[in-house]
Amino acid sequence: MLRAGQTIRLEALTVTRTQVGIIGAGPAGLLLSYLLHSEGIEAVVLETRSREYVERRVRAGVCEHPTTQLLREIGVGARMDAEGLPHHGLSLRFDGEDHRIALTELTGKAITVYGQQEIVKDLIAAHEAKGWPVEFEVSGVQPHGLDTEHPWIAYRDEDGATRRLDCDVIAGCDGFHGVSRPAIPAGEVRFFDREYPFAWLGVLARTPPSHEELIYTHHERGFALHSMRSPEITRLYLQVPHDEKIEGWSDDRIWSELSLRLETSNQDFSLREGPILDKGITPMRSFVAEPMSYGRLFLAGDAAHIVPPTGAKGMNLAVADVRMLSRALVELLRHKRSELAESYSDICLRRVWRAEHFSWYMTSMLHVDPGADEFGRRLQLSQLRYTASSRAAATSLAENYVGLPFA
């Protein structure tokens, strides 16, 4: 058997040996690799997209308090602290009025707005500086031997050469549409799924934010969200039908609809417009794969679960997953103790289902359900009014939003 880090050439096949093969160079895969290497466990990250693509794709922007603490503790939080935007509250806007949820006052914690792609850039730079391997633009990735102690990954490198990565463990961090979860034999994993009858139209605009904090708006025409990525870049969302096409939304129409939904009754809010840099439509769904492991394959992040973005939980769940997985793999590979690896799924799923519930709660409270009757609409308003007026209800929202402590 090859030793970790060793490579040999077998005719047209190059075989490399490592301890952990990681599929996917998003925040989950890169953070897992960083945590493992920091503990002396060798890992190789395989990514089908280019480095430029993964560093530019626009994704989540809200970092929970536990996420920011972890990034600082491991030494990759310097740019986040310099450029990220700490937030101590958020607004629920309904009936044309703002109702501030004082996150820090209620919990003693805050969130930080710092784009997922920025975390990816920081982690790639750290890997590059330390010489830790990340292979981009690979193809034909397929995990094998998952029910053995020596699984392996077949793929072709960026030059098209056939490669094989022998591992002790494979981590599937390749997202909802990746190859890892489908590699598990049918019947070994249960899927829990819910699709929503609406989607989000998201835009990235070159304009200063119109408000210092996030605004979650419930409007009779549909949900809207005012967010930001930096002091010069604003991120905004509109609820649209689930089958809506982006071609039907001109820039003028987007700004007009945002202005209408975000307006206040006392006219103390003015939406700042600017050039739209990016726009797209994202479907809304909830999804959980249970368990999150099979044999020597461990799923993390979107490969194992999806949450509606209303609760700002997706990337943060991925961080919690790989934090736990890194500890389990250190126990398994260095100390030959399997208990934590065997408990990985059960431990992570407790947090996953809490986040699923919170994300569903925020989604159902703020969006207009096209199938709801007037009774359902009155219930929504009742929940919003209670949340905004009750310290206990506001504290529950704030506690979940800033992030529960890691297990």
Q: What is the pTM of this model?
A: 0.94
Residue 88 belongs to some domain of the structure: no
Q: What is the pLDDT of residue 58?
A: 78
Q: What is the pLDDT of residue 60?
A: 78
Cα–Cα distance between 144 and 380 in angstroms, integer?
48
Question: For residue 302, is it left (φ>0), alpha (ψ between -120 and 50) or beta?
Answer: alpha
Helix (H, G, I), strand (E, B) or coil at 312: coil
Q: Which of 34, 196, 344, 401 is labelled catalytic?
A: 401
Q: Is 87 a catalytic residue?
A: yes
Q: What is the chain's length? A: 407
What CATH number should be reported for the domain holding residue 167?
A: 3.50.50.60
Residues whose CB is less than 8 angstroms from the CB of residue 27 and which lie 6 or more positions away in sequence, other chains included: 116, 119, 120, 123, 301, 315, 318, 319
Q: Which of 109, 237, 309, 344 is labelled catalytic?
A: 309
Residue 334 belongs to some domain of the structure: yes
Q: Which of 143, 313, 344, 367 is labelled catalytic?
A: 313
Residue 23 scores a pLDDT above 60: yes
Residue 290 scores a pLDDT above 90: yes
Beta bridge partners of 45: 22, 134
**Do 324 and 374 form a contact (C-beta atoms < 8 A)?**
no
Q: What is the pLDDT of residue 123?
A: 98
Residue 4 scores a pLDDT above 70: no
Mean pLDDT of 22-30: 97
Q: What is the pLDDT of residue 377?
A: 93
Q: What is the pLDDT of residue 200?
A: 97
Q: Is 177 a catalytic residue?
A: no
Question: For residue 277, is it left (φ>0), alpha (ψ between -120 and 50) or beta?
Answer: alpha
Q: What is the pLDDT of residue 361?
A: 97
Residue 53 belongs to some domain of the structure: yes
Residue 151 belongs to some domain of the structure: yes
Q: What is the pLDDT of residue 1?
A: 54
Residue 363 belongs to some domain of the structure: no
Mean pLDDT of 73-79: 97
DSSP symbol at 309: G
pLDDT per residue as tens digits for the range 297-327: 999 999 999 999 999 999 999 999 999 999 9
Which residue do the tokens 């506001």 mark? 394
Q: What is the pLDDT of residue 266?
A: 84
pLDDT band at 9 (very low <50, low <70, confident <90, very high): low
Q: What is the pLDDT of residue 267?
A: 80
Q: What is the pLDDT of residue 287?
A: 98
Tokens of 316: 């943060």
pLDDT per residue as tens digits for the range 343-391: 999 999 999 999 999 999 999 999 999 999 999 999 999 999 999 999 9
Q: pLDDT over 90 for what percent of the chain?
A: 94
Q: What is the pLDDT of residue 7?
A: 61
Residue 144 belongs to some domain of the structure: yes
How many domains does the chain divide into? 1
Q: Which of 27, 34, 66, 87 is labelled catalytic?
A: 87
Q: Is 34 a catalytic residue?
A: no
pLDDT band at 3 (very low <50, low <70, confident <90, very high): low
Please state the separation of Cα 19 from the chain's center in Å: 25
Residue 26 belongs to some domain of the structure: yes
Q: Is 401 a catalytic residue?
A: yes
Mean pLDDT of 76-90: 97
pLDDT per residue as tens digits for the range 243-278: 999 999 999 999 999 999 999 988 889 999 999 999
Cα–Cα distance between 222 and 194 in angstroms, integer?
20
> Nearest Cα to 157, choosing from 135, 172, 179?
135
Residue 283 scores a pLDDT above 70: yes
Q: Which domain holds residue 12?
A: 7-75+116-191+286-358
Within a 10 A sphere around the Cβ of 190, how many other Cβ atoms?
A: 9
Q: What is the pLDDT of residue 13?
A: 87
Query: What mean pLDDT is reported for the chain?
Result: 95
Residue 213 belongs to some domain of the structure: no
Residue 51 scores a pLDDT above 70: yes
Mean pLDDT of 73-94: 97
Q: What is the pLDDT of residue 8?
A: 58
> Nearest Cα to 318, choosing from 21, 53, 57, 66?
66
Question: For residue 214, is it left (φ>0), alpha (ψ between -120 and 50) or beta?
Answer: beta
> Looking at this protein, which amino acid is placed at residue 179?
V
Q: What is the pLDDT of residue 10?
A: 54
Q: Which of 114, 155, 216, 294 is labelled catalytic?
A: 216
Q: Is 309 a catalytic residue?
A: yes
**Do 189 and 277 form a contact (C-beta atoms < 8 A)?**
no
DSSP symbol at 213: S
